[in-house]
Amino acid sequence: MLNISGNSISDKVDTKKYEAFGKVESKTSSRSLARILIGFLILIVISLFIPWTQNITARGYVTTLKPDQRPQAVHSIIAGRIEQWFVKEGDFVHKGDTILYISEIKDDYFDPNLLDRTNQQIQAKELTQKSYDEKVKALENQIGALKEMQELKMEQARNKLIQSKLKVTADSIEFEAAKTNFSIAQRQQERMRELYDEGLKSLTDLESRMLKLQESQAKLIGYESKLLSSKNELINAKLELSAIKNEYRDKQAKANSERFSALSNSYNANVEITKLQNQYMNYSVRIGLYYILAPQNGYITQAIQTGIGETIKEGASIVSIMPAKYDLAVEMYVKPMDLPLLKKGQEVRFMFDGWPAIIFSGWPNVSYGTFGGKIVAIDNFTSKDSKYRILVAPDDTNTPWPEAIRIGSGANGFALLCDVPIWYELWRQLNGFPPDYYQTDSQVASNKAEK
């Protein structure tokens, strides 16, 4: 017994007959307990110096690395009425396969011969444009002919003007000669009168001189009249030359006006042809849009629009398709206080939903059922829940991710930071300090080089 009380029973009970009394009174049990406690304390102290990997835990979801590999909805570019389905949910489709057929619901496109009628309008407008082009050519030929005719007429008028000038010159010379003859006839008549008065000449001679004087005067008047007529002809030649210029200028201006009008009509016809051709191509493309095609290889996951005869609007989602080939990734969301500790290329470990795992976040090497990845992108802005999105791709140097993982499934990730002793990690947690700033070997070398 422990002999705690002052009353002893050793004189009343023979303790040697009972094994239990011997074990209780033995001193070896207390020494074993002390050794165990001391060993456990030493183990705890030693474990405090075991390396511990700091990490940041976050919840994420499986997605794809490239945007074109993520699930997408197939939309209808035009409004229509569902007529026939060619696929069902779960079917695999190749790029260009027909998913469904829709019919037209807008009255502007009900005409079954819409393309043929539009083509006929284009041909009619092309003939109209051709007619205007021919008219332009005819007017250009007419303008050329008018220019040639103008040159000939101008040459003829200039020649006539020169002739009129020469005639005026000749008539002027004749007029001057007539004036000289008249002056001579006057002097001769005066001398004859003096001789007649002196009795040296007869009256007949005087009358003969007077007759010659009248003849010279008549010739002078005739030549003067002829000179004035020549000057009038010169003026008329000048007027005719100016009239020819004005006449053909008006004719050419009128022809040019008609030519420009024809060109304007031709350009308008060309504009209408272009519009009709554009309209024709739009109609042709619209007819091809009646068949909704698969944008890429993948699986039909969900039919958003259902039934036959249901109308859909422009841009409405019809079915969702999951691409057949994709590169997996995980998008995880971290708190703003943890964002400075993360860098591109940093290692991250994941535990996917549905895969058993034994996690030792501080000792990732001894964890079971986790898969490695590396950070490839970090958003520069926060999401709706005020967290930053981190995109992590698989690590090619590590265990491949399970092939059965589906996009959208959950994943628990923890980004690996620095290796520190356990006592340091406990001290940091008790004081509420953040983890140590993570730096790769290349970053440390670059920092040393800057110093």
The DSSP output letter for 368 is B
Q: Phi and psi at residue 62, in whole multiples of 5°?
A: -75, 130
Q: Mean pLDDT over residues 381-409, rounded?
A: 84
| Residues 348 and 304 placed together within one structural domain of the fold | no
Q: What confidence score (pLDDT) does residue 447 get?
A: 46
* C-alpha–C-alpha distance, residues 99 and 81, integer Å: 14
The answer as to whether 197 is a domain residue is yes
Which of 364, 431, 421 shows the shortest CA–CA distance to 52?
Answer: 421
Q: Which helix (H) or strand (E) holds 280?
A: helix 203-288
CATH code (residue 249):
1.10.287.620
For residue 287, the 8-state DSSP code is: H
Instruction: Note whether 210 and 316 are same-domain residues.
Output: no
Query: Tokens 């003829």 appear where?
Result: 156
Distance (Å) of CA 370 to CA 147, 234, 348, 412, 443: 95, 118, 10, 10, 27
Closest CA to 418 of 342, 352, 345: 342
* Last residue within a domain, chosen from 264, 288, 312: 288
- Give 413-440 pLDDT, tens digit per residue: 877 666 666 676 677 667 666 666 545 4
User: In 289-362, where does DSSP find H-type helix?
Assistant: none
- Give the Cα separation of 82 and 102 in Å (integer): 4
Give the mean model confidence (pLDDT) for residues 121-139. Answer: 92
Smallest CA-to-CA distance from 169 within 241, 236, 227, 229 is with 227
109 found inside a domain:
no
Query: Residue 268's domain spans which residues?
Result: 114-288
CA pair distance 10, 273, nearest whole angstrom: 129
3/60 same-domain check = no
Determine what percent of the chain is predicted with pLDDT higher than 70: 81
Element (H, E) at 377: strand 371-382
Residue 97, pLDDT above cutoff 90: yes
Q: Using 50, 70 and 90 to split pLDDT, how confident is the model at 107?
A: confident
pLDDT of residue 112: 86
Model confidence pTM above 0.85: no
pLDDT in tens, 203-231: 787 778 788 878 888 888 888 888 888 88
Average pLDDT, stretch 142-163?
Answer: 88
Tokens 């990730």 correspond to what residue?
413
22 lies in a domain? yes
With vertex at residue 266, the alpha carbon angle to CA 262 and CA 272, rounded to the nearest 5 degrees, is: 145
Q: Do residues 428 and 401 both lie within one domain?
A: yes
Q: What is the pLDDT of residue 216?
A: 82
pLDDT for res 183: 85
Residues 126 and 244 in one domain: yes
pLDDT in the model for residue 225: 86
- For 333-367, the pLDDT digits (tens) are 888 877 777 888 888 888 888 776 555 555 555 45
Contacts of 81 (CB under 8 A, 6+ apart): 102, 103, 104, 105, 309, 310, 311, 312
DSSP assignment of 252-279:
HHHHHHHHHHHHHHHHHHHHHHHHHHHH
Q: Which of 371, 368, 364, 362 is nearest to 412 (CA)?
A: 371
| Residues 185 and 297 grouped into a single domain | no
Q: Are residues 259 and 125 in the same domain?
A: yes
Q: Are residues 280 and 173 located together in one domain of the fold? A: yes
Specify whether 127 is located in the same domain as 261.
yes
The reply to whether 266 and 332 lie within a common domain is no
Q: What number of CA atoms fall less than 13 Å from residue 235's CA on the CB side?
A: 6
Q: Which of 46-60, 118-132, 275-289 has the lowest mean pLDDT?
A: 46-60
The CA-atom distances, in angstroms, between 290 and each of 71, 104, 308, 430 are 23, 8, 14, 67
Residues 437, 353 share a domain = yes
Rounded to whole angstroms, the Cα distance separating 405 from 13 reads: 74
* pLDDT tops 60 at residue 178: yes
Q: Is 93 helix (H, G, I), strand (E, B) or coil?
A: strand
Residue 317 domain flag: yes
Residue 294's CATH number: 2.40.50.100
User: How high is the mean pLDDT of the chain?
Assistant: 81
Determine the pLDDT at residue 214: 83
Overall number of domains in the chain = 4
- Give pLDDT tens digits for 228-273: 888 888 888 888 888 888 888 898 899 999 999 999 999 999 999 9
Instruction: Give the model's pLDDT for residue 290.
Output: 92
Q: How far apart are the first and last CA of the chain?
A: 73
Note whether 56 and 417 are within 8 A (CB): yes
Judged against a pLDDT cut of 90, whether residue 101 lies above it is answered with yes
Task: Name the phi and psi angles at 387, rounded to 5.
Answer: -120, 160
CATH number at residue 443: 2.40.30.170
Residues 302 and 250 both lie in one domain? no
Task: Tell me what pLDDT residue 357 has.
Answer: 57
**Average pLDDT in the 3-31 region?**
60
Which CA distances in Å does 263 have to 124, 147, 256? 18, 20, 10
Q: What are the pLDDT digits (tens) for 269-323?
A: 999 999 999 999 999 999 989 999 999 999 998 888 888 888 999 889 999 998 8
Burial of 306 (0-12, 13-18, 19+ CB in 10 A): exposed
